[in-house]
């Protein structure tokens, strides 16, 4: 089932979702602005359908710990927005509650039979490197891009350019040597996965746009690695699906 309503903060999420075949690009709404703006846009869009048509909605949010955001704060904001929507439309909001997934603590979900609603919230909590100040979907992309299989595939593509660097060497270059060089020359550490993604793309002499890099990474990564890295997102999508679980 393709998820009909998806709310994200950036373009990279759209690419990931399409590559995972979870939604169509037309269903993905990117809303710049703060948490309140995204939640308001969600209930403005979903409200008229409440009680009229089944609602299946995925929200993908970043976690800006540096900016004071918490998982609980994000969860609570979405829950409150859903309650407002229920109240406005004449439904009881008493049982509206986002419950944590039993396997992925960065995924929480709500469902009701009448009105027919399922909402899943995926919060990017993974930090690819410990010193990052926020967690975004780029952390997951970076994780995937630094997997042995993905790097091997990147390098295989560049053999025609006579690259003879090894997989482990390249990984080490990106993760340690180049950042260390920058620091030795007085340039502070890169603080977000997005910056590392741009650096990595530049090293590979690729388009440095994070969404484009995400698309290339997904194309080169092994299926097993993709499923492992994006397991929480896939779990959120599975919750929204009305199809029976087969694996």
Partner 1 sequence: MDRFRKFNLLVGPNNSGKSAVLEAIYLAGTSDRAARITDRQKLLSYDGQTSDNDLLGHHPMIRILDRHKYDAPSLHAILNDGAQVQFIDSSTPLRDYDISYAPMSDRIMPDQDKVLAVFKLEARDDSSYTNPKEAYDQLAQQIFGEDISLSDGYKLIYCWLPSLTYYGSDSAAWLVEGRLAPSRHTLLYDVSTTLGHPPMNFFRRMIKTVPGWTQKIAGHFSQVFNLPGKFNVQFLPSDQEQKWAQGWIAPEDRIALTVDSYGDGARAVFKALTLLIALSELAREDAPGLFIWEKPELFQNPQTLGRLLAEVGALMKDRPIQLFIETQSLEVIANFTALVRQGEIESDDLMAFRLGLEDGNLSSSWFNADNLTAWLEEGLDPRVWGDFKSPPHFSLRE
Residues at the contact surface with partner 1, assessed by CB under 8 A: 4, 26, 29, 40-41, 44-45, 47-49, 51-53
The minimum distance between CB 49 and partner 1, in angstroms, equals 7
Which is closer to partner 1, CB of 29 or CB of 175?
A: 29
Which is closer to partner 1, CB of 53 or CB of 177?
A: 53
Which is closer to partner 1, CB of 46 or CB of 190?
A: 46
Tokens of 204: 């590979």
Which is closer to partner 1, CB of 26 or CB of 113?
A: 26
Measure the CA–CA gap between 142 and 213, rounded to whole angstroms.
Answer: 9
Which is closer to partner 1, CB of 72 or CB of 243?
A: 243
192 φ, ψ (degrees, to nearest 5):
-135, 150
Measure the CA–CA gap between 169 and 171, rounded to whole angstroms.
Answer: 5
Question: Can you give the three-state secondary structure of 206-225, one letter per residue?
Answer: CCCCHHHHHHHHHHHCCHHH
The minimum distance between CB 89 and partner 1, in angstroms, equals 9
Q: Burial letters for 80-102: b for 16+ Cβ neighbours within 10 Å, e otherwise?
A: ebbbbbbeebebebeebebeebe
State the number of CA atoms in the 13 A half-sphere of 8 facing the CB.
24
Which is closer to partner 1, CB of 36 or CB of 53?
A: 53
The minimum distance between CB 26 and partner 1, in angstroms, equals 7
Query: Sign of dihedral through CA atoms 125, 135, 56, 4?
Result: negative
The minimum distance between CB 44 and partner 1, in angstroms, equals 4
Which is closer to partner 1, CB of 88 or CB of 177?
A: 88
The minimum distance between CB 54 and partner 1, in angstroms, equals 10
DSSP string for residues in 70-130: -HHHHHHHHHHHHHHHHHHTT---TT---EE-SS-TTEEEEEETTTTEEEEEEEE---SST
The minimum distance between CB 117 and partner 1, in angstroms, equals 14
Query: Which residues, including other chains, have CB under 8 Å from residue 104's CB and lie 6 or more apart?
Result: 231, 232, 235, 236
The minimum distance between CB 1 and partner 1, in angstroms, equals 12
Residue 217, Cβ neighbours under 10 Å: how many? 30
């Amino acid at each position: 089932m393709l998820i009909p309503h998806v709310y994200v903060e950036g373009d990279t999420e759209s690419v990931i979702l399409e590559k995972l075949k979870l939604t169509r690009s037309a269903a993905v709404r990117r809303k710049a602005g703060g948490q309140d703006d995204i939640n308001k846009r969600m209930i403005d869009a979903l409200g008229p359908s409440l009680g009229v048509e089944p609602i299946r909605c995925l929200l993908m949010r970043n976690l800006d710990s540096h900016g004071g955001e918490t998982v609980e704060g994000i969860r609570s904001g979405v829950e409150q927005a859903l309650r407002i929507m229920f109240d406005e439309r004449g439904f009881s909001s008493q049982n509206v509650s986002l419950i944590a997934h039993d396997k992925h603590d960065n995924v929480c979900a709500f469902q009701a039979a009448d009105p027919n609603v399922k909402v899943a919230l995926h919060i990017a909590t993974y930090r690819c490197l410990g010193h990052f100040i926020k967690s975004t979907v780029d952390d997951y992309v970076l994780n995937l891009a630094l997997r042995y299989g993905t790097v091997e595939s990147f390098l295989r593509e560049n053999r025609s350019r006579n690259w003879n660097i090894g997989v482990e060497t390249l990984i080490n270059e990106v993760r340690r040597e180049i950042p260390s060089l920058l620091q030795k020359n007085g340039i502070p550490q890169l603080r977000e996965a997005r910056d590392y993604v741009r650096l990595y793309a530049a090293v590979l002499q690729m388009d440095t746009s994070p969404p484009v890099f995400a698309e290339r990474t997904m194309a080169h990564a092994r299926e097993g690695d993709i499923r492992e890295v994006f397991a929480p997102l896939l779990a959120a999508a599975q919750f929204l699906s009305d199809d029976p679980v087969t694996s």
